[in-house]
């Protein structure tokens, strides 16, 4: 008998298989590759066997096969096929097959579309990326680098403000979709994500929210420029275990230091405060004084969220 602990929401499946949520749904609808069960609210739940079958199907497509040609194979047949492909790859002297590094290929097209203010072109590229890439790959190797490149070009005046605003609108749509797709009502740990008062640049917070959602956290995203009292109120209302803040610009603002200290006095002692962003290290002394954790990059955030998730599950 399969227990609930062996039923997994879609964000777990995407992380374990490398498939994006949109591509997975497309395969289910067109080819019925798996038949997940449903919660009372209609959300899909996948078994361990479903995940293994999806992993094998994805590996077969990476070897060059059409999903239409392998969707009808049994899991045992897919195992044999994967073994044969592995043997053929080793015979050619190649490395073990992994997902191709296709995300960077989207970057030049995205940037050209931004330079030309080509809404149709940029939307088409981003839509393909959302379908083809897992959420983690999409965030780490496309969205974050694209934001960095646009920001750098804006700062050196080789892009005009209109280009930055155009890119922001389009990328926000992608991140909103990632958060919506990845968030599951079955997620148990809650996280509040925001930027403190005085911090109006929110893409770091949005990347954090999207990353947390893909890691199985129930995200309450508050946006930018929030006073400490409002953030603390959201923590109380949602019973969040973690608060994640993004600090980008300005650097070394005494008002931001005050807001951080104020938040530290308002948060319950058992709530973890994570702070990242381009200017976060400027507040290291304040954060260490508060017992907050200074984050580096998105992989660091992801590792910390996984550790906190596991610690909470063990305590529960």
Q: Please state whether beta strands 190-196 and 242-246 pair in parallel, antiparallel, or not at all (unpaired).
A: parallel
pLDDT band at 287 (very low <50, low <70, confident <90, very high): very high
pLDDT tens string 222-258: 999 999 999 999 999 999 999 999 999 878 788 999 9
Comparison of pLDDT for 208 and 87, the residue scoring more: 208
Q: Residue 281 has what pLDDT? A: 92
Determine the pLDDT at residue 80.
86
Query: CA-to-CA distance for 202 and 305, rounded, in angstroms?
Result: 20
pTM of the complete model beyond 0.85: no
pLDDT: which is higher, 4 or 192: 192
On the question of pLDDT at 187 being above 70, the answer is no
Least confident of 24-33, 63-72, 267-276, 287-296: 63-72
> Per mean pLDDT, which range of 18-32, 81-95, 124-138, 221-235 is the poorest?
81-95
Would you place residue 96 in the very low, low, confident or very high pLDDT band (cuts 50, 70, 90)?
Answer: very low
20 Cβ contact list (under 8 Å, min separation 6): 14, 130, 131, 132, 133, 134, 135, 138
Q: How confident is the model at residue 103 (pLDDT cuts 50, 70, 90)?
A: low
Sheet holding 218-226, edge to edge: 218-226, 190-196, 242-246, 272-276, 293-294
Distance of CA 75 to the CA centre of its chain: 29
Complete domains list, the chain, with CATH: 4-91 (1.10.1660.10), 103-180 (1.10.1240.10), 187-315 (3.40.50.280)
Average pLDDT of the chain to the nearest whole number: 86
- Residue 252 burial by Cβ neighbours in a 10 Å radius (0-12, 13-18, 19+): exposed
Q: What is the mean pLDDT of residues 184-207?
A: 88
- Winning range, highest mean pLDDT, from 60-64, 65-69, 92-96, 186-190: 65-69
Tokens 């009502």, located at residue: 185
Q: What pLDDT was estimated at residue 15?
A: 80
Residue whose entry in the numeric block shows the structure tokens 């600090």: 247
């Amino acid at each position: 008998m399969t227990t609930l602990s062996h039923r997994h929401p879609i964000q777990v499946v995407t992380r374990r298989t490398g498939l994006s949520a949109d591509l997975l749904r497309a395969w289910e609808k067109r080819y019925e590759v798996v038949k997940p069960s449903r919660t009372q609210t209609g959300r899909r739940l996948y078994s361990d066997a479903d995940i293994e079958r999806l992993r094998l199907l994805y590996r077969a497509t990476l070897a060059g096969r059409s999903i239409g040609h392998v969707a009808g194979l049994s899991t045992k047949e897919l195992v044999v096929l994967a073994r044969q492909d592995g043997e053929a790859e080793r015979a050619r002297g190649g490395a073990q097959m992994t997902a191709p590094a296709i995300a960077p290929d989207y970057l030049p097209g995205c940037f050209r579309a931004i330079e030309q203010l080509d809404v149709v072109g940029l939307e088409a590229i981003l839509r393909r990326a959302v379908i083809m890439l897992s959420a983690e790959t999409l965030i780490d190797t496309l969205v974050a680098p694209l934001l960095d490149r646009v920001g750098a070009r804006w700062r050196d005046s080789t892009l005009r403000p209109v280009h930055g605003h155009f890119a922001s609108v389009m990328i926000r749509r992608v991140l909103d979709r990632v958060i919506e797709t990845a968030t599951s009502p079955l997620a148990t740990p809650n996280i509040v994500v925001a930027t403190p008062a005085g911090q109006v640049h929110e893409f770091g917070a949005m990347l954090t929210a999207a990353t947390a959602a893909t890691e199985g956290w129930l995200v309450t995203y508050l946006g930018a420029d929030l006073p400490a009292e409002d953030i603390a109120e959201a923590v109380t209302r949602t019973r969040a275990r973690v608060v994640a803040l993004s600090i980008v610009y300005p650097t070394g603002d005494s008002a931001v230091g005050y807001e951080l200290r104020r938040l530290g006095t308002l948060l319950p002692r058992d709530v973890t405060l994570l702070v990242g962003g381009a200017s976060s290290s400027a507040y290291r002394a304040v954060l260490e004084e508060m017992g907050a954790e200074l984050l580096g990059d998105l992989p660091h955030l992801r590792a910390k969220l996984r550790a906190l998730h596991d610690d909470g599950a063990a305590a529960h």
